[in-house]
């Protein structure tokens, strides 16, 4: 790569320009999706700025100054007292402890999505019930999202992120939960934004996967990873081995094979951060497999179907990989509750094929 030439590029492909280019391929499009995505991007910039301010407070000598964006951050974030409050617990629960930064992020995305005028139903990990947009502001899209996945890791500087998926409804004037409780294969777009160094947004609109990096000097997401393709087989596996004693037989056999292959190949390397966005991002770029299986303590799995399993599975398939629940293709699963959980195995095509074969063999024994 010619870094000198790259540094002076003037033909920059921003995420907005990229989506507009995609929109031009569909003459019937009215630009509603582009407007919706611009509001999601604004929410990501806002949360990125808030996260960076917290990191600046926690790690003042190692974190670069946060980016400046047009939407103002509440004044309390600029004081040490305000930052200290942000990283405390909010006193509410959604099955897990909520960090105050979770609450802020959720409010930002809910308001950004409603104000777009293009949404009708919102499902957030932080809200027990779905949000039905006022009829006067409704559009034709449902958005499911985790506003700040992995926020419990922020105190140690681990990358965290926002995960989202988008569905289209048939009739915006007559919407119900059934418009959201659809298989993941019906999503029209999915993505995540990882708040780390750098801030990266990965998006698929059903035509491949592209990665954009936030340029702090421009305040714009620039295309840096065009047409991401996951390697067919990887050298890494990612799983919480602390739960190994509770795993089922196929998962235990697969991990054993990763560590002690019997075909003479090199063992896979374990990489596990504990932040889904970060673990999946690494898997997407380098190949391998991410596992979050069901176990004796969580027989239905732990990851949420609508806004964790589906969006990440959508991205993996668009990049040439696979996603499997232990019983079926992940995107074929039909959820019955908005906060339903599921196991998931996703990553390189051949690696997921191996675990599918182990589950098939186990089923034959039963």
Q: pTM (2 decimals)?
A: 0.88
Give the tokens for residue 193.
């934004």
Residue bearing the bigger pLDDT, 81 or 17: 17
Taking the C-alpha atoms of residue 58 and residue 48, their distance in angstroms, rounded to an integer, is 15
Residue bearing the bigger pLDDT, 172 or 121: 121
Q: Are strands 236-238 and 220-225 parallel, antiparallel or unpaired?
A: unpaired
On whether the CB atoms of residues 290 and 303 are closer than 8 A, the answer is no
Average pLDDT over residues 333-338: 98
CA-closest candidate to residue 39, choices 116, 137, 142 = 116
The residues that bridge with 124 in the sheet, in sequence order, are 145
CA-closest candidate to residue 99, choices 44, 59, 51 = 51
Decide if pLDDT at 72 tops 70.
no
Q: Where are the alpha helices (DSSP H) in the chain?
A: 3-7, 15-24, 32-58, 80-86, 100-115, 249-259, 276-286, 310-318, 349-365
- 3-class DSSP state for residue 330? helix
pLDDT of residue 270: 98
Average pLDDT over residues 226-238: 98
pLDDT of residue 74: 47
pLDDT of residue 25: 82
pLDDT of residue 69: 37
Give the tokens for residue 228.
């991401």
Residue tagged 């040490």 (tokens): 80
For the chain, give the percent of residues with pLDDT over 90: 72
Sheet holding 210-215, edge to edge: 131-132, 119-124, 141-149, 160-168, 189-195, 199-204, 210-215, 220-225
Average pLDDT over residues 106-122: 97
On whether the CB atoms of residues 264 and 320 are closer than 8 A, the answer is no
On whether the CB atoms of residues 146 and 180 are closer than 8 A, the answer is no
Average pLDDT over residues 123-147: 96
Write the pLDDT tens digit of every residue in 163-214: 999 999 988 889 999 999 999 999 999 999 999 889 999 999 999 999 999 9
Taking the C-alpha atoms of residue 353 and residue 356, their distance in angstroms, rounded to an integer, is 5
Taking the C-alpha atoms of residue 206 and residue 209, their distance in angstroms, rounded to an integer, is 8
Decide if pLDDT at 54 tops 90.
no
- 3-class DSSP state for residue 70? coil
What is the rounded average pLDDT for all residues in the chain?
88
Ramachandran bin of 107, using left for φ above 0, alpha for ψ from -120 to 50, beta for the remaining angles: alpha
Rounded to 5°, the CA angle 142-148-149 comes to: 100
On whether the CB atoms of residues 287 and 348 are closer than 8 A, the answer is yes
213 by Cβ neighbours in 10 Å (0-12 / 13-18 / 19+) ranks as middle
């Amino acid at each position: 790569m010619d870094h000198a030439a790259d540094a002076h590029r003037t033909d920059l492909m921003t995420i907005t320009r990229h989506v507009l280019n995609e929109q031009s391929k569909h003459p019937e499009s009215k630009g509603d999706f582009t407007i919706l995505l611009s509001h999601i991007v604004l929410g990501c910039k806002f949360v990125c700025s808030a996260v960076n301010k917290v990191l600046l407070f926690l790690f003042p000598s190692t974190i670069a100054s946060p980016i400046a964006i047009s939407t103002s951050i509440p004044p309390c974030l600029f004081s040490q007292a305000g930052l200290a409050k942000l990283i405390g617990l909010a006193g509410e629960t959604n099955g897990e402890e909520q960090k105050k930064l979770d609450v802020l992020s959720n409010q930002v995305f809910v308001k950004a999505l409603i104000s777009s005028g293009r949404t009708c139903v919102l499902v957030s990990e932080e809200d027990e019930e779905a949000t039905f947009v006022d009829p006067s502001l409704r559009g034709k899209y449902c958005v499911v999202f985790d506003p700040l996945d992995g926020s419990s890791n922020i105190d140690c500087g681990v990358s965290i992120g926002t995960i989202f998926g988008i569905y289209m409804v048939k009739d915006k004037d007559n919407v119900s939960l059934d418009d959201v409780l659809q298989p993941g294969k019906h999503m029209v777009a999915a993505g995540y934004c990882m708040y780390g160094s750098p801030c990266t947004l990965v998006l698929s609109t059903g035509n491949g996967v592209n990665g954009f990096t936030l340029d702090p000097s421009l305040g714009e997401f620039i295309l840096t990873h065009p047409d991401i393709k996951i390697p067919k087989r990887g050298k890494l596996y990612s799983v919480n081995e602390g739960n190994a004693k509770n795993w089922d037989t196929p998962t235990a056999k697969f991990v054993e094979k990763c560590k002690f292959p019997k075909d003479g190949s090199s063992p896979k390397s374990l990489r596990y951060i504990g932040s889904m966005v970060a673990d999946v991002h690494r898997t997407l770029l380098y190949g391998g497999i991410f596992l979050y299986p069901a176990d004796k303590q969580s027989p239905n799995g732990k990851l949420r179907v609508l806004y964790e399993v589906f969006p990440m599975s959508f991205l993996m398939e668009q990049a040439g990989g696979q996603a499997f629940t232990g019983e079926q293709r992940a995107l074929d699963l039909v959820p019955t509750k908005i906060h339903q959980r599921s196991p998931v195995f996703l990553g390189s095509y051949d690696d997921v094929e191996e675990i599918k074969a182990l589950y098939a063999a186990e089923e034959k024994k039963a």
